[in-house]
Amino acid sequence: MKNILVTGGAGFIGSNFIRYVFDKAGFKGRVVNLDKLTYAGNPENLADIQRKFKGRYAFVKGDICDFKTVAGVMKKYKISEIVHFAAESHVDRSIFGPKDFIETNIHGTFSLLEAARTIWGIGNREPGVGNRGSGKFRFHHVSTDEVYGSLGKTGKFKETTPYDPHSPYSASKASSDHLVRAYSDTYGLPITISNCSNNYGPYHFPEKLIPLAILNALEGKPLPVYGDGLQVRDWLYVEDHCAAIWKILKKGRAGETYNIGGNCEMKNINVVKGICAALERAVPARHNKALGGKKYSDLITYVKDRAGHDRRYAIDFSKLKKELGWQPSVRFAGGLAKTVDWYLANPGWVKNVKSGAYRSWLRKNYTR
């Protein structure tokens, strides 16, 4: 029976992954969720999982930068697989406060790698040997397509695309990717890496484009769009991402990198317009008093472009499709409708995550 350590499991993608593992993947072992509970981490995301899978789901409040904490968790729970989500991930925040990104994304990943090779006994082997192919252990590192930089009007990112990060966030993730590969090549640590495109779906903290636009529109607030709004991103429904990670964890070749994409290139302005259309179907503007007679699209507001803003991302996931048989199953329109419906159905969750007092209480007092 495998015991999986998920770092950052109280966040958006991490909590969806844990949910997928228990509800969709048929996993019979234990999942340990290690999360520091920074502003975007929320144990409410998994409250039902904790009740339903008591004894097989454990939450530990802790910092991945603390080697003793990580090693202690790995030893106590006999961890044999790590799925590393924990990261500072917002580009804007990295521009105005890069220190946290360097600490968490680089130093935190280093701490995890050191703990893994120490607890798994891989640290003193001949370089390049170890037990990468044994299947006994696995360290999966979740990264981003932003490490590749920006594309022109054509082409897609491949696993062999040279790195060219343009923000403190993407630079810190690129650094962590290189560390993970170095531990594979130097110590034989059994690793896999995935670089994915933009995720969306339930439990997304309202600072990223889609959840922010949904909630702002419902409240009659401006919908900010950077620059001309023609930046292109490849969108991936979060459950599809979780399914891909599970495939890689179970069947991916040790030492390999796999790109995960949604095959869904969208201009930012069209994403925002799509959100307005989805909200109009779910909550017609004429019934929303917060709009004061406006249409949702009237709230679109162009703002000064972000510094170092990449123009286009697109992912070639043919390696993942060919080797492991994965491809996205949720089309953007359907995934966006499900996402809008989720936020409408969970006003209590929204209220809590937007409450500064509630977030402060969680960080100080949540110890389960």
Given a contact cutoff of 8 angstroms between Cβ atoms, the answer to whether 117 and 123 are in contact is: yes
Query: What does the block give as tokens for 62?
Result: 């802790």
Is 81 annotated in the active site?
no
Rounded Cα–Cα distance for residues 308 and 109 (Å): 25
Quick one: DSSP state of residue 285?
G
The active-site residue out of 63, 146, 234, 240 is 146
The pairing of beta strand 223-226 with beta strand 232-237: unpaired
* Candidates 57, 148, 169, 183; catalytic one: 169
| Residue 199 backbone dihedrals phi, psi, to 5 degrees | -95, 155
Query: DSSP readout, 102-151?
Result: IIIIIIHHHHHHHHHHHHTT-TTSPTT-TTTTSSS-EEEEEEEGGGG---
* The token pair that represents 190 in the structure block: 């059994």
Among 81, 145, 177, 316, the one annotated catalytic: 145
Using CA atoms, how far apart are residues 243 and 249, in angstroms rounded to an integer? 10
| Alpha helices (runs of H) in the chain, residue ranges in sequence order | 12-23, 47-52, 67-76, 91-96, 99-101, 108-119, 168-187, 209-218, 238-251, 268-282, 318-324, 332-345, 347-353, 356-365
Q: Which of 191, 174, 19 has the alpha carbon at shortest distance from 112?
A: 191
Identify whether 163 is a catalytic site residue: no
Question: Catalytic annotation on 100?
Answer: no
Q: Give the C-alpha separation, 226 to 228, whole Å.
A: 6
Q: Check if the beta carbon of residue 20 is closer than 8 Å to that of residue 243.
A: yes
Catalytic residues: 145-146, 169
